[in-house]
Structure 1
């Protein structure tokens, strides 16, 4: 280890670039970044370092999530930035671009490379690429407990010697090695440990010549760059961010060590001294050398890095014992990804999750409803009367806004609080990548991305969350297909409608002993229809407005790991459940006000709701629906959860049924299935109406929360409108054909 005076060696991060990259440098002495492959436990390391002192957001101008945190160590304050998990810095995905640009242009004080001890050779590919960019790094070899369990031994000293940087072994799940990691970060950040990172040397002669020619030109214009050879490689590959940095002169800000006596503004000025002609000469030389290298240049670079990683691994990684590593994982994978067993197991598991969600949500949902609606709602009305509120004000605030919000909380919170943790546990266990593996061939045939299976599965919990999950798809075209088709996944706001209608109309059409099974089969059939339509629409989009070939992607099947129960509960409830619930509540309040107004504002003694329903009935009957259903879905755009109570309230209003509910414009408790059935039958509902409602519940516009999320993710009004009206048009078409086929079979109905 080489030691310098800390004042002389202390590296200076690039404040201007870090601020531009979205990092708040207030109260930070050092900036640390975490990089690594997916499934290496990087997020666990991040959580161990920062605890609860963290927040998430997006990278400026990107749809890639950025996680930041902070910690203090030996009276110094550290800002930690968790980069997206990526397999390489040499490709062009958004994740890789974000990671590369942050390390290169942000110049963090230390880059902590988190690697999987059980797959070290594969992880060293990324580590070597990072060491080409920065000479301030620490390698954290995580998952050492799994490595020992699979008889894998690592010579840490030899690995550190080979890479020229500190190497720390850790088992982040049990917090082992975290103190050593903190100490290593401090030594590198303060300059006490001076890294001598390994640079790739085994390159073909023609590539070495091209690098030397362009490196000489770059050094003449931008002297003292710490990573000139890597910059040349990226330039030869046509990396747009490097080309832009040369055009603008920003490349000059990457000088090895701006002295502490020189301000960053002065450094920036020096970087801009290169003339435009000199910068253009660099780009011209790069173009000429790229042409001479040929089309297989990228493959050559990749092969060089892989061979370097393999050479390092051979010297530092050893297997002990006769049993091959991950033998149990391989046996499980033969079953869960098998040709004949993969899909049945996948459907059974997902069905099990849905069944637990639906069954488990009933009791807490009833308790919340009893508290918020049965008890608190009359109490609020009593307070309003005691305070002499005008009838319209108490109606708008309590019977409208409050009751709508109470419905959303009681119906939406319990299923989400069950579904999201279960979904995250499957993800934590390592099963969800197997789902993507199983579905990849189907989605590829449909011209979509295999990872769309993951976004579709997330949509079964919440479509807004499914839309956000589409960020894992690198291709903008395929990401857009996943976003547009995500609404075909039945979200938890639509499950109650499906289950209730199937129970009342489908289950009662068969003997009582079969009612439960038949009702469940009807709901599952609608869900499977959604998956089928997702594939069909994906195929149609990929052949028309979103033409293109399905892209390939690297999908690593991580080892099976025991889920982290408490951390899963925390992240699922805070990051997903509360976030989505809050959005739904924000939109549900104005919807509740609208419900009350259309039912209570009258013209010539007739309410606005009655006018619309009478006007819409002839149109709706063509599709096997009615005006009440159409109005309910218009009002319930903010939240699908209030469709059934709105339908019941409007049915009572139109039929004049007495002794039900709390008055006009007040949503009705549907806890009594028999009472709900009586109300719907009184409103003229038939089995055909019920079947069409189940279909229309699957195929209609997304809720306002999802529409807003689609716009935020696509930044396009055009594609937001397509995502909104495409399922609606499909819903009317399916209901139309269903109705007319029904009348062909039952001409007297």
Structure 2
């Protein structure tokens, strides 16, 4: 009896302490820490004399006054991250083209000829080579070069000591949203790969805030979604302005979508922290590490082996069966039409309500294993559904055209408009994670419940935003 009373009293004390903690406000911990450091600094000034020597970190302090300042901190942060994105996108074009030529233009015909030489039946040749192999080739060609550039650059910023400054700058925003300042790091990592961003959430000690970071990481545009954003923005947004500024306007549209993703990350973090993941606010005391020279070999190993190869391998594992499914739905016929055409005709009325179409819905369903194959799948399905024939088109095989004009012609022939382009950019931001990320979320959370929430919450938001955009469009037009 005494034991139960004692436990009850302890629970009451903890409850009162927790209530008092909330009443004191989220700045209480920071105030205490600042006062401790201020008092320590006063004691040091009174008792320690330094003669003829500079402070050990005087240069660090001067740099921090700039990169963490109220007015320059965010512009510098956005400029550096924009530089990383620009180097990633620009630098990946050439190696991606080489890999595409090697794996698709060169190796694919060799494999087809070898299959014909051994009399491989079409029902085995098609799914394995035109389906599984081509999907794997597209994932490697599109995904490997950006990751091989982005992750070393990101790791370099991490080794230099700049990323903790990013967390410091964004801490107040995430704290107001009920999240953790280190979520800024996981969000930035998600711009390279959401699976890597989910793994990076391990740096957050609080289970509640780690879960918030995991759930919202999908709002960071991963490298698998950048090609879709860039292509659609170039065809539909850039076409609205003179050619001289089309590239700048298209890039601005893509950056705008990325910033919108950050906004949704903060909004959803706030909503979760005020509802299903409401709990005691955790403290975050960040002591900024000194700036240090980069360790090139360790940076390359960490970024290329631990991150790039690990994430790419997971994507390949899921892409191969997806490619087989893509080939089957495009080439298996029922009642005179392929399974893909039946699905497209059936879902078109539903999709039109959201400013999309059945091709887009089917492409995002069967391309769940890898976002990199969304555009080739869309082109294949559009050409198949509209009866367009040409280089790679109308054959029931995923493909991608080198000519932007040819790509635009196929999409326009499929009934795409500016509204369709805007909505697919929004839906590309707000849709379910790829299967690699879903699997990683489950591995990190060990929870089917939170994995399902992380998967379906973005889809619901994507349809809601597209529906709202479509209604506003028709109301204005």
Quick check: TM above 0.5? yes
> What residue number does 1:698 align with?
429
The separation in 1 between residues aligned to 2:430 and 2:281, in whole angstroms, is: 26
- Cα distance change of structure 1 residues 644 and 626 upon mapping to structure 2, 3 Å threshold: same
* Deviation for aligned residue 1:562: 1.1
Q: Is the 8 A contact 2:115 2:125 kept in 1?
A: yes
Pick one of 396, 412, 418 that aligns with 1:665.
Answer: 396
* Deviation for aligned residue 1:552: 1.2
Q: Is the 8 A contact 2:135 2:373 kept in 1?
A: yes
Whether 1:578 aligns to 2:306 is no
Pick one of 354, 359, 365 that aligns with 2:96.
Answer: 365
Whether 1:476 aligns to 2:212 is no
> What residue number does 2:334 align with?
603
> What residue number does 2:378 align with?
647
> What residue number does 1:493 align with?
224
The separation in 2 between residues aligned to 1:444 and 1:549, in whole angstroms, is: 12
Q: Is the 8 A contact 2:168 2:286 kept in 1?
A: yes
Query: In the TM superposition, what are the counterparts of 1:20-419 in structure 2 within 5 Å?
Result: 321-419=52-150
Pick one of 294, 301, 308 that aligns with 1:563.
Answer: 294
CA deviation map 1:260-283 (0-9, x unaligned)? xxxxxxxxxxxxxxxxxxxxx9xx
CA deviation map 1:425-477 (0-9, x unaligned)? 00000000000000000000001111111110110010011111111111111
Q: Is the 8 A contact 2:384 2:393 kept in 1?
A: no
Whether 1:744 aligns to 2:463 is no
- Cα distance change of structure 1 residues 663 and 618 upon mapping to structure 2, 3 Å threshold: closer
The separation in 1 between residues aligned to 2:123 and 2:203, in whole angstroms, is: 48
Whether 1:517 aligns to 2:271 is no
* Deviation for aligned residue 1:672: 2.0
Structure 2, unaligned runs of 5 or more: 18-32
After TM superposition, the score normalised by the length of structure 1 is 0.57
CA deviation map 1:699-741 (0-9, x unaligned)? 0000000001111111111110000000000000000000111
Q: Is the 8 A contact 1:652 1:660 kept in 2?
A: no
Instruction: Look at both structures and tell me which one has the larger radius of gyration over its CA atoms.
Output: 1
* Deviation for aligned residue 1:549: 4.0
The separation in 2 between residues aligned to 1:677 and 1:662, in whole angstroms, is: 13
Q: Is the 8 A contact 2:383 2:393 kept in 1?
A: no
Q: Is the 8 A contact 2:380 2:393 kept in 1?
A: no
> What residue number does 1:541 align with?
272
> What residue number does 1:299 align with?
none
The separation in 2 between residues aligned to 1:394 and 1:710, in whole angstroms, is: 34
Q: Is the 8 A contact 1:447 1:548 kept in 2?
A: no
Deviates more, 1:658-667 or 1:395-404: 658-667
Query: What stretches of structure 1 move > 3 A for 4+ residues in a row?
Result: 317-321
* Deviation for aligned residue 1:663: 5.1
The separation in 1 between residues aligned to 2:471 and 2:332, in whole angstroms, is: 36
Pick one of 139, 149, 158 that aligns with 1:427.
Answer: 158
Q: Is the 8 A contact 1:493 1:640 kept in 2?
A: yes
Pick one of 621, 626, 629 that aligns with 2:352.
Answer: 621
The separation in 1 between residues aligned to 2:53 and 2:119, in whole angstroms, is: 83
Secondary structure of 2:55's match? coil
> What residue number does 1:188 align with?
none
The separation in 1 between residues aligned to 2:316 and 2:334, in whole angstroms, is: 31
> What residue number does 1:446 align with?
177
Q: Is the 8 A contact 1:501 1:694 kept in 2?
A: yes
The separation in 1 between residues aligned to 2:197 and 2:430, in whole angstroms, is: 16
> What residue number does 2:22 align with?
none
More helix by share: 2
The separation in 2 between residues aligned to 1:368 and 1:411, in whole angstroms, is: 8
> What residue number does 2:443 align with?
712
- Cα distance change of structure 1 residues 658 and 449 upon mapping to structure 2, 3 Å threshold: same
* Deviation for aligned residue 1:321: 3.6
The separation in 2 between residues aligned to 1:481 and 1:570, in whole angstroms, is: 29
> What residue number does 2:20 align with?
none
> What residue number does 1:81 align with?
none
* Deviation for aligned residue 1:325: 1.8
* Deviation for aligned residue 1:396: 0.6
Q: Is the 8 A contact 2:230 2:251 kept in 1?
A: yes
> What residue number does 1:178 align with?
none
Q: Is the 8 A contact 1:633 1:643 kept in 2?
A: yes
Specify which structure has the bigger relative contact order, considering alpha-carbon pairs within 8 angstroms and separated by 6 or more residues: 2
* Deviation for aligned residue 1:600: 0.6
* Deviation for aligned residue 1:554: 2.2
RMSD of equivalent CA atoms: 2.2
> What residue number does 1:183 align with?
none
Q: Is the 8 A contact 2:387 2:394 kept in 1?
A: no
The separation in 1 between residues aligned to 2:383 and 2:232, in whole angstroms, is: 17
* Deviation for aligned residue 1:555: 1.2
Count of paired positions: 442
The separation in 1 between residues aligned to 2:52 and 2:143, in whole angstroms, is: 52
Secondary structure of 1:363's match? helix
CA deviation map 1:285-308 (0-9, x unaligned)? xx99xx9xxx9xxxxxx9xxx9xx
Structure 1, unaligned runs of 5 or more: 1-280, 296-301
* Deviation for aligned residue 1:391: 1.1
More strand by share: 1
Q: Is the 8 A contact 2:67 2:165 kept in 1?
A: yes
> What residue number does 2:408 align with?
677
* Deviation for aligned residue 1:319: 6.4
* Deviation for aligned residue 1:318: 10
Q: Is the 8 A contact 1:591 1:638 kept in 2?
A: yes
* Deviation for aligned residue 1:662: 6.1
The separation in 2 between residues aligned to 1:320 and 1:714, in whole angstroms, is: 54
